[in-house]
Every structure is written in C-alpha cells, then in structure tokens.
C-alpha cells in the first residue's frame, strides 16, 4: 500500500470533464485506488464519487493505491495532478 499527496492545480477545480480524465486513468490499473480528503475516502475509479468531491483549485488530496501496479498508478497520477491533466 502506498500513498501520495497531490494538489488540484486546475483553475476550475475538479469539474466533470477532469473527473472523467482521472477515472479513465485510474481504471487502467488493477490496484484499488482511493482518494482521501479530510479523512473522507472515495473510490478513484468512480466518476460520480470523484466529481462529488467538488474539489476546488488548490485543494489538497491524498491518493492511496493498493495492488500489484500501485507504484505505476501513483506515478502516473502524480504526473497528472502536477501537470494539471495537461489542461493548463
């Protein structure tokens, strides 16, 4: 089990399109992936859960992955959050 800390770097926050991008990527991995905010934990492969976070710009989130490909998964997710999902 591994965890990383990320920050929403998109000006418009985690809107639906972005949530879609995120679950598209998390769904590629077999690991169980969770997003944790203020102790609340949601499934990172469910678009409604991710969108339901209503995570605005600058929001800090914890991502936890557990499974065979947890390392690759977190590496990719870190990159996505750092680059603002290449949305700018």
Partner 1 sequence: MVRKKREYTVEDFFKDNKEELGLELLTSSLKGPLNITGSDVHRPAFALSGFMENYLNSRIQIIAETETLFMRSLEPGQMKEAAERIFSKPLCCIMITKNLDLPDVFIDEAERKSVPVLRTPKETTPFIHELTEILDYYFAPRTKLHGSLVDVYGVGLLFTGRSGIGKSEIVLDLVERGHRLVADDVVEILRRGDVVIGRGQEFLKHFMELRGIGIINVMDTYGIRAIRIQKRIEVVVELKDWDPGRDWDRHGLDERYTEILGSRIRQLIIPIFPGKNITVISETIALDHMLKVYGINAAKSLDDKISDWMKSKKRTRRYLRNDTE
Residue pair 19/51 in contact (Cβ under 8 Å)? The answer is: yes
Q: Which stretch binds partner 1 (CB under 8 A): 15-23, 33-41, 67-75, 80-88?
A: 15-23
d(CA 19, CA 16): 5
The residues pairing with 35 across neighbouring beta strands, listed in sequence order, are 42, 63
5 binding partner 1? (CB under 8 A): no
Beta carbon of residue 3, minimum distance to partner 1 (angstroms, whole number): 25
- Which tokens go with 57? 């710009």
Q: Is residue 16 a contact residue for partner 1 (CB under 8 A)? A: yes
Q: Report the catalytic residues.
A: 15
Q: Which residues contact partner 1 (rule: CB under 8 A)?
A: 12-17, 19-20, 23-24, 27-28, 47, 51, 54-56
């Amino acid at each position: 089990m591994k965890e990383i800390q990320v920050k929403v770097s998109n000006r418009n926050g985690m809107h639906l399109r972005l949530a879609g991008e995120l679950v598209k990527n998390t769904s590629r991995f077999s690991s169980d992936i969770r997003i944790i905010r203020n102790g609340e934990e949601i499934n990172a492969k469910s678009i409604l859960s991710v969108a339901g976070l209503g995570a605005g710009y600058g929001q800090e989130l914890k991502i936890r992955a557990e499974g065979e490909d947890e390392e690759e998964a977190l590496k990719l997710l870190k990159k996505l959050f750092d680059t603002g999902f290449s949305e700018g």
